[in-house]
Chain A
Amino acid sequence: MNRIKYTSPLLLDGESTVVVENNVRIYDGDQKTSFEGGELIITTHRILWGRPGQIARGQTCLSMALNLIIFIEEESPSTFSFTRSRKIVLHLSEINDTSNGPQPYSMFNFIKLSFREGFTKNITSILHDLLQDRPWEPKIQQPPVENKPQQPLIKPRMGIVGIERSIQEKQKATDASINMAFQDLDKLMDMAKDMVRLSRMISTKIKEKQGDITEDETIRFKSYLLSLGIDDPVTRDSYKSDNQYYQSLAKQICDFLLSHIEEMGGMMAMSDVFCWVNRSRSLELLSPEDILNACKLMQALDLPLKLFEFSSGVKVLQLSSLDSSTVAEATAQLVDEKGSLSSEELSKSLGISLTLAKERLLTAEKFGKCCRDDAIEGLRFYPNLFLTREE
């Protein structure tokens, strides 16, 4: 009730009458007030209430700005009421300036409008529409009310609707800024294309003119390109450039995995390496590409592990001391001991993965240490009696 002011019934700029009802009583919260039997005008901006004839004569009336309304509900008529009376509850937001009203203090956050003779039109839905359209909004400034010009600007940012609106606006702003950011990225990508083309061109020139420029210069230039983040196709596989990150990563992986790999018979498939490393890092995860690149550097760094690729394309990390012939020898020895082995049996007895076991057996076969028996039961490997057994 303290939100209601005395004011002139004259319409403001851009304000228009929406609906007029008669015989309306105002409640402060649940309490009846003396403002009863009056005329209620809902405009696009305000709710006006005056005693019959008051508004028509332009005398001071009660008014309340629509933007104070947070929520509207219609009170369901009690079971025993046989009147046509209907009540609407208007939940209101807080207001600081309570002067110039009929009732400066109120313990309620809502008022009720009681329509003794019902509505001619559906007031609730009209109010809902008004709240949604917010016709008072286009004017950023609250329409100046002549008899209280000192009223501070009431920002329409109050209550739940206000909060929702502000969230919406923030989202809009974020959206816009993200779009901006990606616009920048697009430009960057375009630029990067040029850069890559340029670097390719230069690297092919370097290749053509090998000899014209010194080896040192070539390497230095390639490292410039790499430090720009542009993969030089020439150095892609060799990673000659001293990329600190991969080097230290290679050392770290080596330190961590060396004992495990020794336990597992000297070899670990790259997929396992990836799992082990990332599990140990828990949060600072590495991409498979980074791990692979780091592993590629191991041999050049003289680390005790190295990357090895089987002819089938399976990549493993293995002890540097291990080469294919010793692998073949060791595997053949196992086959000799057991008489014959399938990859499943070898993987079980060594605790290595199935692919790795198969690769080991195939390596042994490639060195002529084993021979295969490809039957319905599956692929098995036998000691190569063809070559070792005397006729």
Chain B
Amino acid sequence: MPEVDIEWPWQYNFPPFFTLQPHPETRSKQVAAWKSLILEYCEKNKIYVIDVRESSQGPLFYNSTINRKLEQSVILSILSELQKTDNSAPVDKLNNRWEIYWHTLEEWASMIYDYVLGQGIQNSVLTLHELVQGEDTAEEMFFGMNQEVLLKVLRLLEKDRKCEVILEDDVQGVKFF
């Protein structure tokens, strides 16, 4: 996972940031700061999936300079806070792996559809690989998108009858309408 340095917020070097605050008002500020930090960090590093067990050792939740670490239980509660705003969703039943959506699935969907309209490639079939890894989309926000997340986005579009996902063994493509 290539790490891109992001500009850490001031809280990141503030030790109480890594302890869940009992005072309700303080806690809400703290959790809000964590939420925006997680989204920003994932966006900059193009991280679509967080594994709670692994990432508690990573720089996001572990500040080695002040030697403070966010506890897994707290990470979980912040991720579930993110879920409330559709910015995350657990992948497995044990809530160990979480998909992070710095753009919500709906935002992603409209972004992709706008791109398709802009390129005028309705009614043609694109492979999923082409869509998120191809040369043509290298400049787009959704470039390099995790395949599972992409599928969830396309299913959303499919519901609105804006595309059809074709999942054959050898070909995984999508046709936009």
A371 contacts chain B at the CB level, 8 A cutoff:
yes
* Interface 9-residue window, one of A123-131, A298-306, A378-386: A378-386
Give the residues in chain B near A371, CB-CB below 8 Å: 16, 19, 21, 23, 26, 30
Query: Given the complex of chains A and B, what is the CA–CA distance between A384 and B21 in angstroms?
Result: 10
Interface residues of A in 356-389 (CB under 8 A from B): 365-366, 368, 371-375, 380, 382, 384-387, 389
Chain A residue with the shortest CB-CB distance to B30: A386
Number of A-B contacts (CB under 8 A): 49
Would you call A368 and B19 a contact (CB within 8 A)? no
Q: A386-B26, A387-B29 are in contact. Are A375 and B15 (CB under 8 A)?
A: yes
Instruction: Scan A315-352; emit 1 where CB is below 8 A from any B CB, else 0.
Output: 00000000000000000000000001000000000000
Chain A residue with the shortest CB-CB distance to B21: A371
Would you call A368 and B23 a contact (CB within 8 A)? yes
Interface residues of B in 1-36 (CB under 8 A from A): 10-11, 14-16, 18-19, 21-23, 25-26, 29-30, 33
Query: Given the complex of chains A and B, what is the CA–CA distance between A371 and B11 in angstroms?
Result: 12
**Which residue among B18, B19, B30, B68 has the maximum number of chain A CB atoms within 10 Å of its CB?**
B19
Would you call B68 and A386 a contact (CB within 8 A)? no
Would you call B10 and A373 a contact (CB within 8 A)? no
Number of chain B interface residues as a range: 10 to 19
For the residues of A in contact with B, the DSSP-based class is mixed
Residue in B15, B23, B25, B26 whose beta carbon sits within 8 Å of that of A373 in the complex: B15
Would you call B33 and A386 a contact (CB within 8 A)? yes
Would you call B14 and A372 a contact (CB within 8 A)? no
Query: Given the complex of chains A and B, what is the CA–CA distance between A389 and B11 in angstroms?
Result: 10
**Which residue among B15, B16, B19, B30 has the maximum number of chain A CB atoms within 10 Å of its CB?**
B16
Give the residues in chain A near B11, CB-CB below 8 Å: 385-386
Q: A382-B14, A386-B33 are in contact. Are A372 and B19 (CB under 8 A)?
A: yes
Give the residues in chain A near B16, CB-CB below 8 Å: 371-373, 382, 385-386
Nearest-Cβ distance from residue A269 to partner chain B, whole angstroms: 23
Give the residues in chain A near B30, CB-CB below 8 Å: 371, 386
Would you call B10 and A382 a contact (CB within 8 A)? no
Query: Given the complex of chains A and B, what is the CA–CA distance between A13 and B67 in angstroms?
Result: 104
Would you call B26 and A374 a contact (CB within 8 A)? no
Nearest-Cβ distance from residue A339 to partner chain B, whole angstroms: 11
B-contacting residues of A (Cβ < 8 Å)?
Answer: 340, 365-366, 368, 371-375, 380, 382, 384-387, 389
Given pairs A372-B21, A385-B10, A386-B29, 4 additional interface contacts (CB within 8 A): A365-B23, A366-B23, A373-B68, A386-B33
A-B contact pairs, 19 of them (CB 8 A): A365-B22, A368-B23, A371-B16, A371-B19, A371-B23, A371-B30, A372-B21, A372-B22, A373-B15, A373-B68, A375-B15, A375-B18, A375-B19, A375-B68, A380-B15, A385-B11, A385-B16, A386-B30, A387-B29
